[in-house]
Structure 1
Amino acid sequence: MDKSPSDTLRLEFKEDVALTEMMRLRVSSLQKSGQKRQDGERLLLPYEAVYRLDFPTQELGFSRWHFSLSGRGRVTVTGICQLWTPDLTHLMTRQLLEPIGTFWRNADDPDELPLKFLEADMQEFGERIAELAKVRKVMYFLLACKDGAEAANLSCSVEFTPGK
């Protein structure tokens, strides 16, 4: 979390390693036992991980996204409306928010070319996050790295203006 001189608050997406591992164990357990997922359950895919944003204050106005990715690939960010409890209830598809955020750089794009994204979706997504921050201290997200993108090569944060 960085406080910039222009009175904005920048919150960094942080991987929740324990929750990601717990969700991977759920997939592994189902595979080993030959069971099927619950109706409507959303299982973690191999290229996905759970990230979180921690809100130090609840009154935030969305300002802008900060996203960097070295190399090529596509990263999608999906918000989760579920507030996880210690028993880590299963993730259900109905708990995934829309729109999702997608950033990408094509294989033939030069490295210095800025990442591409759908501006209207990212604006709406940022505003949804600010709205949920009014009633949350933490929010969870699925980040999926595809088409050559790697989590080690990405940085994602959202900038807010406090008191909105």
Structure 2
Amino acid sequence: MDEAKSLSNTMVLAFKEDTALTEMMRMRVSSLQRSGQKRQEGERLLLPHEWVYRLDFSSQELTFSRWRFSLSGHGRVTVTGISQLWTPDLTHLMTRQLLEPIGTFWRNQDDPEDSKLKYLEADMQEFGERIAELAKVRKVMYFLIACKDGAEAANLRCSVEFTPQK
């Protein structure tokens, strides 16, 4: 239970990069480019500034509490949930499997580096609640995390705090 830190009666789940899946998706893009083929209709290819992350749920009955994120420096980060459960054959990601709303947080270039990150509170609340709902039927959930405007994945820490319902 090292990925889930228990604070009193809360559970904090950290987003972990899925390097194997990220690499597999990058190889798909590279393969299409080399062969001159086009993506399948509705297929969502991984962009260079995106990575695949995952949350592993050790409990299925959760209530969303809050987001915990930190970003060194400036930039914008978007977190997009994926409804797809990857199978061993690593089926292609389809755009219809991307969830709404997405989570976005940022710090502008002219903001002091120690200023709080900005985010759209209503969207982040709804997104957290949606993750808690999906946790009821999932042991793992995947996400696309995109870093823009100077943000770097190495400078990002993101987790979600839940309250177990038991």
Counterpart of 1:64 in structure 2 is 66
The residue type paired with residue 83 of structure 2 is C
Quote the Cα distance in structure 2 between the aligned partners of 1:59 and 1:38: 36
**Counterpart mapping for 1:34-45 below 5 A:** 34-45=36-47
Counterpart of 2:6 in structure 1 is 3
The residue type paired with residue 51 of structure 2 is A
Counterpart of 1:17 in structure 2 is 19
Mark the runs of 5 or more structure 2 residues left unpaired by the alignment: none
Quote the Cα distance in structure 2 between the aligned partners of 1:69 and 1:120: 20
One of 111, 128, 131 as aligned partner of 1:129: 131
Counterpart of 2:98 in structure 1 is 96
The residue type paired with residue 50 of structure 2 is E
Quote the Cα distance in structure 2 between the aligned partners of 1:46 and 1:56: 31
Mark the runs of 5 or more structure 1 residues left unpaired by the alignment: none
The residue type paired with residue 77 of structure 1 is V
Counterpart of 2:56 in structure 1 is 54
One of 73, 76, 82 as aligned partner of 2:75: 73
Counterpart of 2:35 in structure 1 is 33
Quote the Cα distance in structure 2 between the aligned partners of 1:8 and 1:28: 42
Give the Å deviation of 1:90: 0.3
In the alignment of these two chains, the number of paired residues is 163
Quote the Cα distance in structure 2 between the aligned partners of 1:103 and 1:21: 25
SS of equivalent residue, structure 2 residue 34? helix
Give the Å deviation of 1:26: 0.1
Name the Cα RMSD after superposition: 0.6
SS of equivalent residue, structure 2 residue 131? helix
TM-score by length of 2: 0.97
Counterpart of 1:110 in structure 2 is 112
Quote the Cα distance in structure 1 between the aligned partners of 2:24 and 2:165: 35
Structure 1 runs (4+) greater than 4 angstroms displaced: none
TM-score by length of 1: 0.98
